[in-house]
Amino acid sequence: MRAWEVAESFGRDNLRLVDRPDPHPGAGELLLRLRAASLNYRDLLMVEGRYNPKQPLPLVPCSDGVGEVIAVGAGVRGFAAGDRVCPTFAPRWLAGEPDRERLRTVVRPPQHLSDAEAAALPCAAVTAWSALVEQGRLRAGETVLVLGTGGVALFALQIALLHGARVIVTSSSDAKLERVRSMGAWETVNYAREKAWGKRVRELSGDGVDHVVEVGGAGTLPESLRAVRMGGTVHLIGVLAGGEASLLLAPIFMQQVRVQGVLVGPKSSFEALNRALAQHEVRPVVDHTFAFEEVPAAFDHMAAGAHFGKICIAIP
């Protein structure tokens, strides 16, 4: 079995392609041959040692992917060799190890998706669904603010459109804003030009948006709180723009805002997501699919920040 690992010290330059012994599935386990993986921003942070500096090494990065069942452990029902499945979110599985969680953490991705597209789902898409649909009970006619054009953001756009909501997207790139418009975004705001973008979004939406898909954290939360309507929800999903906010709390309780932390979601959310994607033949936006040998280049591409959609890796 081959794997990319960060062995001796953190850093993209320290990714090494290594051989590891072939694993065998224990009781209640499945062994998968991975076909594709996808990168999350967290993976980049992990490789660079910024996610958890105390993370023991070697580290096999990435959590998301899709694979084919090649061996079935004792006591496993419902799966057979040849099935295409996505593990649900669980760190370190790119090492080719079968899912160490319960069996229920494997789901069958929609058939219309390529391997790269299926590999894009586990973290980002489930998180967006969990936030807007499960926690947020999104309904037609509502307005959703999506920050940026990363993985969670584009899934949130697609999921919101599926439910008949209208979506406002922010970005510092007019080209990216043009692309989200072509995907169905109702309005866009270039936050590089429009510093007070929270106020701008509030005006566009009338009384403020019903939902904010907040991935920026400290750097964006104050403006997000300006954009959200009284009684609306800020889905706090990530801290791309900083983890420590100097935050005025009065708007939260005066406006009765809900700030809801969201971290992926259960298998049932993943399955409900898949059902909706399948019915409407929605495809994840894949920016680029790198070959397995190009994993370091894939991380460099994420670090450069110019991508639009998921960065995927094909595994031969």
CA separation, residue 238 to residues 42, 109, 168, 215, 263 (Å): 9, 25, 18, 4, 9
Binding residue for its own copies, selected from 27, 56, 182, 316, defined by CB under 8 A: 27
* Interatomic CA distance for residues 134 and 97, integer angstroms: 30
Nearest CB to its own copies, comparing residues 153 and 239: 239
CA nearest to 31, candidates 103, 119, 90: 103
CB of 253 to its own copies, least distance (A): 4
Binding residue for its own copies, selected from 60, 262, 298, 313, defined by CB under 8 A: 262
CB of 256 to its own copies, least distance (A): 5
Helix 267-280 to helix 151-162 angle (10° resolution) is 60
Binding residue for its own copies, selected from 263, 291, 303, 306, defined by CB under 8 A: 263
From 87-95, 146-154, 173-181, 233-241, give the range in contact with its own copies by CB under 8 A. 233-241
Q: By CB under 8 A, tell whether 29 contacts its own copies.
A: yes
Binding residue for its own copies, selected from 11, 78, 184, 243, defined by CB under 8 A: 243
Phi-psi map region of 194: left, alpha, beta (phi>0 left; psi -120 to 50 alpha): beta
Binding residue for its own copies, selected from 16, 17, 26, 112, defined by CB under 8 A: 26
Q: By CB under 8 A, tell whether 80 contacts its own copies.
A: no
CA separation, residue 109 to residues 23, 115, 280, 292 (Å): 24, 9, 14, 21
Name residues contacting its own copies, limited to 143-202 (CB under 8 A): 159, 162-164, 166
* Interatomic CA distance for residues 211 and 135, integer angstroms: 11
The SS3 assignment for 139 reads coil
Q: By CB under 8 A, tell whether 37 contacts its own copies.
A: no
Length of the chain: 316
Name residues contacting its own copies, limited to 119-138 (CB under 8 A): 133, 137-138
Beta-bridge partners for 146: 169, 213
Q: By CB under 8 A, tell whether 283 contacts its own copies.
A: no
Backbone torsions φ then ψ of 252, nearest 5 degrees: -65, -45
Q: By CB under 8 A, tell whether 247 contacts its own copies.
A: yes
Residues that bind its own copies (CB under 8 A): 26-29, 73-75, 102, 104, 133, 137-142, 159, 162-164, 166, 217-218, 221, 236-239, 243-263, 272-273, 275-280
